[in-house]
Amino acid sequence: MPSGQSDYWYAVRVKSNREWITAQALKGKGFPVCLPYYQDWRRQANSAQTIDLPLFPGYLFCCFDLNKRLPILTVPGVVHIVSCGKTPQPVDEREMAAVLSVMQSGLPARPRRFHSIGQSVELDRGPLAGTQGVILSYTGEEEFVVSVSLLQRSIAVKVDRNWIKPDSLKPAAWSTAGVWARL
């Protein structure tokens, strides 16, 4: 989480396939870094192996004071800080909290297309208790979708239907809040 009043989480665009190296370099400079990942199976000639892949390819998240961003921009692999116009924009605090919750939960997450409408819910049980969002019903299994509006990317994690707080079901409207769901 941000360590000071002026520290926020920013999305940092990195060179292709350099997410891990760049994250290590930023950590080496003392910056809090979040590189959400998932495990996937890759089949090679005679074997299969598990590899870690970024949930947001080409991006990582870093917490820093925007007025002191030069050390971030000079790290090898950093392309730029995600901006609107010329001004870098922090990731929405609720969205970043949701991403961190999913990573700390230990539940297997997968990349998903970005979803921006659906029915808003809150989970009141399980490792994601207190997280608000949207549930997608996908072939009979519920997927909790966490979106980062700034990147227009999403990740999904399977949840138990019983974790959904019953009185949190309400019709959704256009919104850019943290996590999205539809029943």
Give 18's pLDDT tier (boundaries 50, 70, 90).
very high
pLDDT digits (tens, 9 = 90+) for 82-109: 998 889 999 999 999 999 999 999 899 9
**pLDDT value of position 118:** 59
Domain(s) labelled CATH 3.30.70.940 in the chain stretch across 7-88
The per-residue DSSP string of the chain comes to ---STTEEEEEEEE-TT-HHHHHHHHHHTT--EE--EEEEEEE-SS-EEEEEEESSTTEEEEEEEGGG-HHHHTSTTEEEE-EETTEE-BPPHHHHHHHHHHHHH---EEEE-----S-EEEB-SSTTTT-EEEEEEETTEEEEEEEETTTTEEEEEE--GGGB-GGG-B---S---SEE---
In tens, the pLDDT along 52-64 reads 999 999 999 999 9
Mean pLDDT of the chain: 81
CATH superfamily ID and name for 7-88: NusG, N-terminal domain (3.30.70.940)
- Residue percentage of the chain with pLDDT more than 70: 79
pLDDT confidence of 76, banded at 50, 70, 90?
very high
pLDDT for the residue numbered 168: 54
